[in-house]
Amino acid sequence: MGRYVARRLLQGLLTLFLVMVLLHLLTTAAIQLNGNPALAFFGDRVPTAAQLQAVSERYGLGDACYNQLGNPCVGPFLDRLAAYATGDFGTDLRGREVTEIVAVAAPNTLRLFAVVGLTWLVVGMTLGSLAARYRGRAADHGIRAGSILVDAFPVFVMLLVYKFVVTVPMSTWARDTFGAESLPALLFRPSFSPDHPWATVLVPGVLLGLAGSAAFIRLVRAAQLENYNAEHVRTARSKGLGERHVTLFHIVRNSSIPVVTAIGFVFAEALAGAVVTEGLMNVYGMGGVLWSAVRDSDVSVVVGIVTLLAVVTVVVMIVVDLLYAALDPRIRFD
Amino acid sequence: MTDDPTGGDRSSTEPLLEVEDLVVEFATSDGVVRAVDGLSWSVSAGETLAVVGESGSGKSVSSLAVMGLLQTPPARIVRGSVRFRGTDLLSLPRAEHRRYCGDHVAMVFQDALAALNPVYTVGFQLTEALVARTGTSRREARRRAVELLDLVRVPNAAQRVRDYPHQFSGGMRQRVMIAMALALDPQVLIADEPTTALDVTVQAQIMTLLAEIQAERQMALVLITHDLGVVASVADRVTVMYAGRAVEQAPVLDAFTRPAHPYTAALLRSVPRLEALPGEDEDAELAVIPGRPPELVALPPGCSFHPRCQRSVAGCRVDPGPALRLVAPGRRAACHLAEEQLADPPVPVAAPAPAEEVRGG
């Protein structure tokens, strides 16, 4: 067990390193192709070479390699690794510490994730189990058709429709009826408000969770169906155990194995969804920050946040693997 | 060998479990299929009944119907009764039916690896029903689990109750399966191909174990198999099934020496033997039954076996097919020509020998 965890951690570190290399090469190439973001600082004015160099230095892009297309810029990469090792994650273009930005943005993202995760799990497990229980009947067909419909409807379209069609009349009506600070009015606010971080993140979170749960419903259904007719379930029934006991101990328990594995990729999907959601709903979160950082070519922020997200993802994957082994005794470490 | 009237009628005692005129149909995309058609059998305490047939002959479906384990739909029990000590299980609500079976009728399944839940320890599964029913304490349950594993002679039982099914060998796993079936002290044990998934030497051990336990507890044993060797070595009576119907019912020795149904005779001829029968060519190829088992959706008219039968005459192709009738004391067969078949020279005691006795030729 210990050896397995150590090996997975080492693998995780390697993955992380590769992510950072790739990220570095991509951002470097982007700068080399699009031109130095420091130029944007001067707008229409043409800076002198010294001025440009000064601003570039401030942006951490002073190295000459950024002007040579194809140069992998190994030097700046090593500098960044060394800085990260000492806990220095750099600043954004306005001189704000990346760590400080994350400290403000991360809690909002975590809130969104909590809502998404909960929706995803509750909706997915409930509807998936129901569909499996009533396989082939109206409830099953309805749930499956619904989930495919949601799947076919991109998250950002759903959010756009929500934001521009639903929120304005709903929040106006709620504000007039219950008052500006009432819960219904906050729930349907078209954009995030840092003063009410939970209420304003709830509806977008539920929508994102619904989108994620569509595929999950079908996974839960398939996993449970496989067990409904499994021979070990028949054995359990032959022992005279009640149907509720059989469902809980032999169907839901056994189908939890593939379901847990799904947490890994649904998490990755939710991360991607969060970038879009935060961008659209103006949530000041990791996704929103990343969104604007990419737009502004803010290299330090992009690299810092993507690295952090990679760390979180790697950790989630390791936890899922451990959980998987804990749930299925046939999986053995080493 | 002649008919032995005493060996022919051991079921003089009250039958424990009686299946009568059982009809099970399945709704399939090709229409309704009658998987079991008018099957009757009974088994008494201390007796072993073998139900023999090819795959698809309805032998497993009928046992699942007895246990209330058929998936309905697509399956449907059209008529018939399954009486345990006079109680008709089929008339009970399904949940009650299963509870009742849990207490009195247990089942051993074919593939123990699939039939045991991979995520629970063997100890948990052995006593799961006991704990769920009686609320036995963990400690008491553990003790009972060890006792059960000891009973089926799994070595080192005290340690092994903590293991998972995949950590057992095939033979040991089947022993666990048997121990689990014995957990609630059933009076009837239905074993559905209990040795098919095992290799030959282990098959013999498992059959010996089953026979011993059955004798010790005076249980009624219903052995569902397609292995005639197993039938010869342990069963008292045999029911041969073909296309959902019982075609012959007889004491095992009678059926094996002087089959009353051409299908039984054909089955016996197709068993590989170490020595040629008298008057048979040493190098003769193994006899096979020509053709293939009929599609249940499109059964031939008359006797379902007639297209493959060596004896078939014009009368065999006419509906209604032959009904199961008494053809000799203690023997029933569903064949118009049963008397002719019985008049055939007797087959020397069927070679199918228990594997432990097989010697190199």
Enumerate domains of chain B plus CATH numbers.
15-235 (3.40.50.300), 258-277+285-350 (no CATH)
Looking at the structure, tell me whether residues A289 and A236 fall in a common domain: yes
Of B255, B263, B238, B240, whose CA–CA distance to B328 is shortest?
A: B255
Minimal-distance CA residue of chain A relative to B121: A329
One-letter identity of residue A273: G
Taking a C-beta distance cutoff of 8 angstroms, is the pair A115, A277 a contact? no
CB-based burial of residue A10 (10 Å sphere; 0-12 exposed, 13-18 middle, 19+ buried)? exposed
Residue with tokens 């949601």: A150
The helix, strand and coil proportions of chain A, stated in percent and rounded to the nearest 5, come to 80, 0, 20
* Pairwise CB contact (< 8 Å): B116 & A235: yes
- Does the residue A313 lie in any domain? no
| pLDDT, tens digit (0-9, with 9 covering 90-100), for A20-79 | 999 999 988 888 888 777 777 787 888 888 888 888 887 778 788 888 888 888 888 888
Residue B8: pLDDT above 60? no
3-state secondary structure A227-294: HHCCHHHHHHHHCCCCHHHHHHHHHHHHHHHHHHHHHHHHHHHHHHHHHHHHHHHCCCCHHHHHHHHH
- Does the residue A57 lie in any domain? yes
Looking at the structure, tell me whether residues A162 and A246 fall in a common domain: yes
Residue A203: pLDDT above 50? yes
**Peptide bond before residue A154 is cis, with ω within 30 degrees of 0:** no
Backbone angles phi, psi at B48, to 5 degrees: -115, 120
Q: How far apart are CA B92 and CA B81, in angstroms?
A: 11
- Does the residue A301 lie in any domain? no
Per-residue confidence band for A242, with pLDDT thresholds at 50, 70 and 90: confident
Which pLDDT score is estimated for B197?
A: 76
Q: How far apart are CA A175 and CA A123, in angstroms?
A: 29
- B221 contact partners, CB below 8 Å, separation of at least 6: B43, B47, B48, B49, B188, B189, B191, B210, B214
- Does the residue A235 lie in any domain? yes
Which pLDDT score is estimated for B349?
A: 54
Looking at the structure, tell me whether residues A61 and A193 fall in a common domain: no
Report the DSSP beta bridge partners of residue B37.
B23
**Which residues of chain A make contact with B71, given a CB cutoff of 8 A?**
229
Looking at the structure, tell me whether residues A262 and A140 fall in a common domain: yes
Q: How many domains does chain A have?
A: 2
Least confident of B61-65, B143-147, B281-285: B281-285
Of B74, B138, B132, B124, whose CA–CA distance to B99 is shortest?
A: B132
Looking at the structure, tell me whether residues A212 and A117 fall in a common domain: yes
3-state secondary structure of B324: coil
User: Alpha helices, DSSP H only, in chain B?
Assistant: 5-8, 59-67, 94-104, 112-115, 122-134, 138-151, 157-160, 170-182, 200-217, 228-234, 252-257, 262-269, 338-343
- Does the residue A184 lie in any domain? yes
Backbone angles phi, psi at A174, to 5 degrees: -65, -35
Per-residue confidence band for B190, with pLDDT thresholds at 50, 70 and 90: very high
Q: Which helix (H) or strand (E) holds A59?
A: helix A49-59
Of A284, A120, A292, A290, whose CA–CA distance to A201 is shortest?
A: A284
* Pairwise CB contact (< 8 Å): A232 & B99: no
The percent of residues above 90 in pLDDT, for chain B, comes to 19
Of residues B3 and B98, which shows the higher confidence score?
A: B98
Mean pLDDT of chain A: 86
Find which of A3-7, B7-11, B215-219 is predicted with most confidence, using mean pLDDT.
Answer: B215-219
One-letter identity of residue B11: S
Which pLDDT score is estimated for B11?
A: 42
3-state secondary structure of B32: strand
3-state secondary structure B134-167: HCCCHHHHHHHHHHHHHHCCCCCHHHHCCCCHHH
Return the sign of the alpha-carbon dihedral for residues B216, B221, B224, B227.
positive
Domain that holds residue A173: 106-296
Q: How far apart are CA A186 and CA A171, in angstroms?
A: 7
Looking at the structure, tell me whether residues A233 and A127 fall in a common domain: yes
- Chain A contact residues (CB < 8 Å to B): 229-232, 234-243, 245, 249-250, 253-254, 257, 327-330
The percent of residues above 90 in pLDDT, for chain A, comes to 13
By Cβ distance, the residue of A235, A245, A327 closest to B132 is: A245
Q: How far apart are CA A207 and CA A159, in angstroms?
A: 8
CB-based burial of residue B155 (10 Å sphere; 0-12 exposed, 13-18 middle, 19+ buried)? exposed
Query: Is beta strand B87-88 parallel, antiparallel or unpaired with respect to B31-44?
Result: unpaired
Q: How far apart are CA B349 and CA A203, in angstroms?
A: 80
Minimal-distance CA residue of chain B relative to A324: B119
3-state secondary structure of B76: strand
Looking at the structure, tell me whether residues A179 and A284 fall in a common domain: yes
Q: How far apart are CA B213 and CA B206, in angstroms?
A: 11
Tell which of A263, A281, A296 closes a domain: A296
Vertex A203: Cα angle to A201 and A205 (nearest 5): 65
Q: Which helix (H) or strand (E) holds B21?
A: strand B15-28
How many interface pairs between A and B have CB atoms less than 8 angstroms apart?
78
User: Alpha helices, DSSP H only, in A134-252?
Assistant: 138-151, 155-161, 168-178, 183-187, 199-228, 231-238, 243-246
- Does the residue A199 lie in any domain? yes
| pLDDT, tens digit (0-9, with 9 covering 90-100), for B315-352 | 888 878 888 888 888 889 888 888 888 888 777 654 44
DSSP 8-state secondary structure symbol assigned to residue A168: H
Tell which of A34, A51, A85 closes a domain: A85
For B79, other C-beta atoms within 10 Å of its C-beta total: 11
Looking at the structure, tell me whether residues A143 and A58 fall in a common domain: no
Q: How far apart are CA B42 and CA B222, in angstroms?
A: 9
Q: How far apart are CA A322 and CA A319, in angstroms?
A: 5
**Which residues of chain A make contact with B130, given a CB cutoff of 8 A?**
none
- Does the residue A28 lie in any domain? yes
Find which of A184-198, A201-215, B266-280, B311-325 is predicted with most confidence, using mean pLDDT.
Answer: A201-215
Backbone angles phi, psi at B245, to 5 degrees: -115, 155
Taking a C-beta distance cutoff of 8 angstroms, is the pair B214, B49 a contact? no
Average pLDDT over residues A86-106: 87
- B43 contact partners, CB below 8 Å, separation of at least 6: B11, B15, B16, B17, B49, B188, B220, B221, B222
Average pLDDT over residues B233-239: 90
Backbone angles phi, psi at A292, to 5 degrees: -75, -30
Query: Is beta strand B237-242 parallel, antiparallel or unpaired with respect to B48-52?
Result: parallel
DSSP 8-state secondary structure symbol assigned to residue A306: H
Return the sign of the alpha-carbon dihedral for residues B78, B80, B84, B85.
positive
Looking at the structure, tell me whether residues A276 and A175 fall in a common domain: yes
Which pLDDT score is estimated for B335?
A: 86
3-state secondary structure of B304: coil
Going from the C-alpha of A146 to that of each of A119, A127, A149, A280, B186, the distances in angstroms are 16, 10, 5, 24, 47
* Pairwise CB contact (< 8 Å): A238 & B95: no
Which pLDDT score is estimated for B351?
A: 47
Q: How far apart are CA A63 and CA A38, in angstroms?
A: 12
Vertex B102: Cα angle to B97 and B107 (nearest 5): 105
Of residues A71 and A264, which shows the higher confidence score?
A: A71
Looking at the structure, tell me whether residues A74 and A132 fall in a common domain: no
| pLDDT, tens digit (0-9, with 9 covering 90-100), for B37-50 | 889 999 998 899 99
Cα-Cα-Cα-Cα torsion A136, A141, A147, A150, nearest 10 degrees, comes to 160
Minimal-distance CA residue of chain A relative to B185: A239
The enclosing domain of A184 has a CATH number of 1.10.3720
Looking at the structure, tell me whether residues A45 and A120 fall in a common domain: no
- Does the residue A332 lie in any domain? no
- B127 contact partners, CB below 8 Å, separation of at least 6: B136, B141, B142, B144, B145, B148, B183
**Which residues of chain A make contact with B111, given a CB cutoff of 8 A?**
231
Which pLDDT score is estimated for A25?
A: 92
Residue B167: pLDDT above 80? yes
Going from the C-alpha of A30 to that of each of A18, A275, A286, B64, B277, the distances in angstroms are 18, 20, 21, 67, 87
Q: How far apart are CA A111 and CA A101, in angstroms?
A: 16
| pLDDT, tens digit (0-9, with 9 covering 90-100), for B267-319 | 888 877 766 666 666 676 777 888 788 888 888 888 888 888 888 888 888 87
Which pLDDT score is estimated for A262?
A: 79
Mean pLDDT of chain B: 83
* Pairwise CB contact (< 8 Å): A237 & B180: no
Taking a C-beta distance cutoff of 8 angstroms, is the pair A281, A204 a contact? yes
Per-residue confidence band for B356, with pLDDT thresholds at 50, 70 and 90: very low
A176/chain B closest Cα distance in angstroms: 55
Q: How far apart are CA A232 and CA A329, in angstroms?
A: 16
| pLDDT, tens digit (0-9, with 9 covering 90-100), for B75-96 | 888 888 999 988 888 888 888 8
* Pairwise CB contact (< 8 Å): A231 & B114: yes
Looking at the structure, tell me whether residues A112 and A71 fall in a common domain: no
Tell which of A296, A311, A328 closes a domain: A296
Minimal-distance CA residue of chain B relative to A231: B115
